[in-house]
Amino acid sequence: MNLSKPGHPQARRVYQTVPDGALTGPEAALETTRTPRTVPARYSHGMAFTPPPRTPSALLRALLAALALGSVTGAHAQAHRTAVWLRPPEQPQELERTLVAARQAGFTDVLLEGFYHGRAIWTSSVAPMKLQYDALALASRVARREGLHLNVWFETLYWRPDRQFGIPVTPLWQDRYATLSEDGRTSLDVSRLGFVDPSDPDVGNLLAALTAELGRTYPDVGLHLDYLRYPREANFGYHPAAVQAFREQTGIDAGTLRGRDPNGEQMQDRHLWQAFRRDTVTALAGRLVRSYRDAGGQGLVSAAVFGRVDPLQDWRHWPGLEVAMPMLYYPFPALYRAVPLLFPPAANVWPGIRVGPGGAALAPQLDLLHGLGYPNVAVFGWTPDGTATPVTPDLDGTRP
């Protein structure tokens, strides 16, 4: 039975956008069997995110407001928070030096890369160690001493760089976990970055075990989700588990939706397939936040998200998400004046900016964004000596 036909009641029921981050699609049925845990009110559904303006008049009002705000220095008296993405150095003394320098430079929050290349930076019973020392234990001690808010940065679905980078493949990697494009290629074939698929049950179980371990072992350390998406270099998400679940729920074979549809005959089916994949990512986000909270995690829950529109990354409806950090990295600070058109100013939207060799200085970018109504900002590319740019959060795959 094809549930995708216009007007079919079940097709409308299975996939529709709902408020407050409620789950739809793959995990919706599971919600009725789970016992909710009592958590502080701010953790129940995360924070409400304001959608971008849609109509021409709303866009015009937002643009005029941005121009007006940008011309007023110090117009907002809110306390500012500035986060920095950091990859832990190979040596423990360098990590301590970097964290101290970050505090002295004015950063309040650290997004410490903690699960990357399929390995963890803490002593884990779930994932192999990335470094020769427990970087999270050290960072936690230093952060408390220095007054920094510490968060573990998860490269959630990106587990494996291509062999050309010379990075050992994690023992967690299984070829059957890999997400597939519509023509059957893996993301390693397309972009040199090995993504696993959010629909694979073993992937979800492993990630949930990791976030639970973080919440249980380091309850005051926040959870920062990155790479919680499909690869964008091609049309991905055709994992066997996803194709099967979609067929069971809608009666549609996703394999028939490959290629172009010049006459629009499959438009409704394609919309359902897009919604299924979007909701699969949303369901995984909710599960990871829930596992972290249920295990005792009390830190901030944030995510690095795409700086433009990604129809498969509906982060505004991710259950439990408190802060979104859209990765902008504009080369010219003046371009940030248009940010309110995409992300209305709010304390729970921290624009992601970039500093480093050849880029704009940090202070002018912060001043501009504060003036536009964004009290909090996330920064990539900062180093204590200002001479090097380490890993980029979720960009184009040019770095491992």
Greatest pairwise CA separation for the chain in angstroms: 63
Which one, of 208, 230, 107, lies nearest residue 154 by Cα?
A: 208
Which residue type is seen at 271? Answer: H
Say what the pLDDT of residue 399 is: 58
State the pLDDT confidence band at 4, using cuts at 50, 70 and 90: very low
Which helix H or strand E contains 102, and what residues bound it? helix 92-104
Burial code of 356-391, b = ≥16 C-beta within 10 A, e = fewer? Answer: beebbebeebbebbbbbbbbbbbbbbbbeeeeebbb
Please give the radius of gyration of the chain, using alpha carbons only, rounded to the nearest integer.
21
- The stretch 257-282 carries a mean pLDDT of 90
CATH topology classification for 80-380: TIM Barrel (3.20.20)
For residue 14, pLDDT over 60 is answered with: no
User: Which tokens is 15 given?
Assistant: 């996939």
The torsion angles phi and psi of 250, rounded to 5 degrees, stand at -125, -15
Which one, of 350, 360, 359, 356, lies nearest residue 391 by Cα?
A: 356
Position with higher pLDDT, 81 vs 18? 81
Which one, of 334, 357, 337, 355, lies nearest residue 345 by Cα?
A: 337
Say what the pLDDT of residue 357 is: 85
- The stretch 92-104 carries a mean pLDDT of 98
**17-21, 44-48, 56-60: the lowest-pLDDT one:** 17-21
**Per-residue model confidence as pLDDT tens digits over 354-395:** 999 888 899 999 999 999 999 999 999 999 987 544 445 665
Q: Residue 27 to residues 8, 38, 156, 240: CA-CA distances in angstroms?
A: 21, 20, 18, 17
User: What is the Cα 48 distance to its own chain's centre?
Assistant: 16
What percent of the chain has pLDDT above 90? 71
Burial code of 298-317, b = ≥16 C-beta within 10 A, e = fewer? Answer: ebbbbbbbebeeeebbbbbb
DSSP per residue over 176-220, as a string?
Answer: GGB-BBTTS-BHHHHHSEEEBPTT-HHHHHHHHHHHHHHHHH-TT
Say what the pLDDT of residue 76 is: 38
Report the Cα–Cα distance between both ends of the chain, in Å, rounded. Answer: 44
Averaged confidence pLDDT in the chain? 85
**14-18, 148-152, 215-219: the lowest-pLDDT one:** 14-18
What percent of the chain has pLDDT above 70? 78
**Per-residue model confidence as pLDDT tens digits over 210-263:** 999 999 999 999 999 999 999 999 999 999 999 999 999 999 999 999 877 777
The torsion angles phi and psi of 276, rounded to 5 degrees, stand at -60, -50
- The stretch 155-171 carries a mean pLDDT of 97
> Do residues 107 and 376 lie in contact, with contact meaning Cβ atoms separated by under 8 Å?
no
The DSSP call for residue 111 is: E
Position with higher pLDDT, 388 vs 102? 102
- The stretch 263-269 carries a mean pLDDT of 86
Helix pair angle (240-250, 267-294), 10° resolution? 110
